Amino acid sequence: MSDLLEQDLREAFAERAARITPEASARLRAVDYHPRSRWPASRRAVSAVGALGLSGGAAAVGAAVLLGSSAAPAFAGWTATPTAPQPGQLAAIRQHGRAGSRGPVLTDTRGPYAASIYADGSTCLEGNGVRISTSGGGGTTSGIPAGTVQLNGLGESDPEGHALTMVDGPIGVGVTGVTITRSGESSVRATVKNGWYLAWWPGTARAVTARVASASGTSTQSFPRARQSAPPCPTGGHCTSGYGFGPGLRPRSRSGSRQPPIPTMTIAGPQNGQ
Amino acid sequence: MTDFDHFVAAHVDELLRTAYLIVWDEGEAEDLVQECLLKVARRWPRIRRMDHPKAYARRILVNLALDGARGRAQRRGELEPGAPPSSRAVDPLGVLEVRAELLQALGELHQRQRAVLVLRYFNDLTEVQVAEVLGCSPGTVKSSAARGLARLREALQPVPLHQGSPET
């Protein structure tokens, strides 16, 4: 009996393994597993993210990083999988989010941090004394092919070494889940809601692919490896470095400090889209 | 091509199949293999001098799969359902039906238990080699495999006719 079952088991495994699509193997062979350093070693914590140019877009193009003195180092308590909102967490980010807006289309919560995205692609992240806002790039979010997502991204850091990377965008019809794979790090599960997805993580790990789940199965979209040159730091205040990629990317706009007690970190970002 | 590129070309398929059989989801498997190969690439100068670089890569892969098992279990509802039998051909001996039942039962095993069976019966490792991959004793591998096989055997038991089907 055991011998028969073991034989059946070998055959069942072989049959199941044969179902893997050749594309999955081809994608894995095509990955560059030796990412070159994108920055001179002397530069401090700078993150970069990529985006796949699809039609239209609402890329995040401007950012102000507001780090209070109580900002937890390395985003303590962050989780790779979204968590249920804590009491008051959603109310807090709504309060500090964009004034006069109609409210976020999606809020992603990970431990003590909440990140919201608005219909124009602008975002706001808050928690543990960290507050970050980005302005949206405008444009349309329509025309996203079914089962795919638009890949926008933003990476920011400040002289104290607080760096984060955020990816977001509108989704096509039928998308039920998005998982971001990162260079050298474990995957991050995005929050998907109301036609949008959003994920972020501390540090500068590069987004490599987005695994997109839909009713028809799963597919992979790859972030491009190209990076843009950082423009000179803006004058005044601290210089924070950042990058943005995505359809409709425009010169970065800078949002002022809405919280005077918290020092504003202005961003040196990309001047143009890809 | 570098020797690492040759390593990837030679072993990526087996790593992908192993991951797929353990996590039971192609997307997750692809992510895991990519993560595994990134780790291998970072340590390649040391790994390339090993007697069995593939075994080391497989060990990384299996540990990544099992480390993330809890999170995946929570998301199980979002994963694609198991594919139906690959053929609708005439099946007079019920071979395809049994195979489908076996695959379904395998998909319902605990991931660590399935990993033991995959390493034993797909990768054809000995109990000692499986124990090295999983970082446990050969005795633990033996008992885990026996429990897994027992569960499969139980799942394949014919349902008594008087119980009827769940739909009725």
Q: Which of A25, A33, A187 sits opposite B4 (nearest CB)?
A: A33
What number of residues does chain A have? 274
Ranges of H-type helices in chain A: 2-17, 22-30, 89-96
Asked whether residue A264 is assigned to any structural domain, the reply reads yes
Does residue A251 carry a pLDDT above 70?
A: no
The predicted pLDDT at position A55 comes to 27
**Whether residues B100 and B31 fall in one domain:** no
The CATH number given to whatever domain includes residue B21 is 1.10.1740
What is the reported pLDDT for A213?
92
How far from chain centre, in Å, is Cα A194? Answer: 17
Top mean-pLDDT range of A103-107, A231-235, B151-155: B151-155
Looking at the domain assignment, is residue B147 inside a domain?
yes
Residues B68 and B96 in one domain: no
Q: Is residue A37 situated within a structural domain?
A: no
Residue of A2, A17, A27 with shortest CB distance to B20: A17
User: Domain total for chain A?
Assistant: 1
pLDDT band at B72 (very low <50, low <70, confident <90, very high): low
pLDDT digit string, tens, across residues A148-184: 888 877 766 554 556 778 888 889 889 999 999 987 7
Residue A6 has its nearest CB partner, among B20, B30, B121, at: B121
B44 part of a folded domain: yes
Pick B81 or B64 by higher pLDDT.
B64
Residue B85 within a domain: no
Query: What are residue A60's DSSP bridge partners?
Result: A136
> Are residues B153 and A6, on separate chains, in Cβ contact within 8 Å?
no
Quick one: pLDDT at residue A49? 31
Asked if residue B98 and residue B41 are part of one domain, the reply reads: no
Among residues B100, B98, B69, B97, the alpha carbon closest in space to that of B83 is found at B100
Quick one: pLDDT at residue B146?
94
Range of the domain at B64: 1-76
Q: What confidence tier does A131 reach under pLDDT thresholds 50, 70, 90?
A: confident
Is residue A33 assigned to a domain?
no
Above 70 in pLDDT, residue A264?
A: no
Q: In chain A, what residues touch B17 (CB-CB under 8 Å)?
A: 17, 20
Residues of chain A neighbouring B106 (CB-CB closer than 8 A):
9, 12-13, 16
By a Cβ cutoff of 8 Å, what residues of chain A touch chain B? Answer: 1-2, 5-6, 8-21, 24-25, 27-29, 31, 33-34, 80-81, 176-177, 179, 181, 183-187, 189, 208-209, 211, 213, 217-218, 220
Structural domain contains residue B40:
yes
| Angstrom distance (rounded) from CA A137 to CA B11 | 43
Residues 6+ apart with CB under 8 A from A54: A143, A144, A145, A148, A150, A151, A247
Please say which residue of B14, B47, B76 terminates a domain.
B76
**Cβ within 8 Å, pair B20-A20:** yes
Domain count, chain B: 2
B166 part of a folded domain: no
**Count of other CB atoms within 10 angstroms of residue B134:** 19
Give the end of a domain, one of B76, B104, B121. B76
Summarised one tens digit per residue, pLDDT across range A11-68 is 999 999 999 988 888 888 887 776 533 222 222 222 223 222 222 333 333 333 333 3
Residue whose token pair is 């036609």:
A195
| Total-model pTM | 0.46
Within A52-182, residue ranges assigned H as helices are: 89-96
Q: Which chain A residues are Cβ-neighbours of B25 within 8 angstroms?
A: 218
pLDDT, chain B, mean: 81
Q: Is residue A210 part of a domain?
A: yes
The answer as to whether A12 is a domain residue is no
Q: Are residues B109 and B59 in the same domain?
A: no
Q: Count other C-beta atoms under 10 Å from residue B76's C-beta.
A: 10
Question: Is residue B83 domain-resident?
Answer: no
B117 and B63 part of one domain? no
Asked if the structure places residue B9 within a domain, the reply is yes
